């Protein structure tokens, strides 16, 4: 979700997702939820968490992974729950969990988890059944506590950029971050790892926060990434501009310690705000 403008406008979709009604009640509810501090071992109040507690796998994840998640956040000097962000690097096969410090306002890396499988290659997803993992700036749009792949979180592909640049009739859909060890365009990280990530994201959304998901071809700060992309762009020149646009968003996050708000222009390009 491109989030530009007031914080209340940015959180409006989240309020709707967690069952908040009118604006004044929504504001009071969000403030109450965001002031709640607890443990990943516990279900916080809120209709989303109550709904997820119906799934045995989510309850078991609390028992099995909650303590480990508490430990990771404490080690990073963070309260729980917190606003979180996910970053994925396809070439390195890594998913990173970041959370925002209430003290500094900057995001801190909490943990990283290796992919357990991958499909496609470097480059964005552009059509149904191309087996590509997308590349770009996304957010988590839903949770499945009874997934075929243990637990899964849906990514909002196609986003505004993809709707311009991908196949107009058949861009594809159903992109998830999930457990297990199989991928056809999704990001699998194994059952034990997805339990930790699922809880951190679920609790962040329940506390009123949108959760960004940044998916990159590789880590742009690594010189080897540049050489790899240069080779690929030599065969597909349009990739050079696309990856340059993603690198802009990547470096803004690295410098600012927070994701830069953006819009998407008529060409499908991400336009980052100061």
Residue 31 has pLDDT above 60, yes or no: no
**Cβ atoms of residues 89 and 253 within 8 Å:** no
53-79 average pLDDT score: 96
Q: Is residue 190 part of a domain?
A: yes
For helices 56-75 and 191-206, give the axis angle rounded to 10 degrees: 80
Across 178-202, average pLDDT: 97
Residue 1 lies inside a defined structural domain of this protein: no
For residue 77, being part of any structural domain is answered with yes
> Is 82 among the domain residues?
yes
Which pair of structure tokens corresponds to residue 175? 């992109």
The pLDDT value recorded for residue 237 is 86
User: Are 214 and 250 in contact, with CB atoms under 8 Å apart?
Assistant: yes
For residue 48, being part of any structural domain is answered with: yes
| 39 part of a folded domain | yes
Q: How many CB atoms lie within 10 A of CB 63?
A: 10
What is the total count of domains within the chain? Answer: 1
CATH code for position 43: 2.40.440.10
Residues sharing a CB contact under 8 Å with residue 69, sequence separation 6 or more, in sequence order: 40, 80, 196, 199, 200
What's the pLDDT band for 82 if we cut at 50, 70, 90? very high
Give the domain extent around 164: 7-272
Mean pLDDT of the chain: 88
Structural domain contains residue 2: no
Answer yes or no: is pLDDT of 273 > 50.
Answer: yes
Furthest CA-CA distance within the chain: 54
Across 23-37, 59-73, 231-245, least confident range: 23-37
In-domain check, residue 125: yes
Q: Looking at the predicted structure, is the pLDDT value of residue 24 above 70?
A: no
Give me the percent of the chain exceeding a pLDDT of 70: 86
Averaged pLDDT, 176-187:
96
């Amino acid at each position: 979700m491109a989030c530009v403008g007031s914080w209340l406008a940015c959180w409006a979709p989240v309020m709707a997702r967690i069952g908040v009604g009118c604006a004044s009640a929504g504001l009071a509810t969000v403030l109450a939820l965001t002031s709640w501090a607890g443990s990943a071992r516990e279900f916080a109040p809120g209709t989303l968490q109550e709904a997820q507690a119906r799934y045995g796998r989510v309850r078991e994840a609390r028992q099995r992974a909650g303590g480990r998640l508490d430990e990771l956040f404490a080690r990073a000097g963070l309260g729980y729950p917190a606003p979180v962000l996910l970053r994925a690097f396809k070439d390195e096969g890594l998913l990173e969990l970041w959370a925002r410090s209430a003290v500094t306002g900057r995001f801190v890396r909490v943990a990283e988890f290796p992919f357990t499988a991958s499909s496609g290659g470097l480059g964005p997803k552009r059509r149904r059944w191309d087996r590509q993992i997308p590349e770009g700036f996304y957010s988590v749009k839903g949770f499945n506590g009874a997934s075929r792949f243990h637990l899964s979180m849906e990514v909002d592909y196609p986003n505004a950029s993809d709707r311009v640049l991908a196949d107009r009739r058949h861009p594809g859909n159903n992109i998830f971050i999930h457990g297990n060890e199989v991928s056809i365009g999704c990001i699998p990280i194994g059952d034990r790892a997805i339990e930790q990530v699922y809880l951190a994201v679920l609790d962040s959304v329940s506390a009123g926060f949108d959760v960004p998901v940044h998916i990159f071809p590789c880590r742009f700060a690594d010189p080897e990434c540049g050489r790899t992309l240069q080779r690929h762009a030599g065969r597909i020149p349009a990739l050079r501009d696309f990856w340059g646009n993603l690198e802009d968003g990547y470096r803004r996050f690295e410098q600012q310690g927070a994701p830069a708000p953006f819009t998407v222009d008529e060409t499908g390009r991400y336009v980052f705000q100061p």
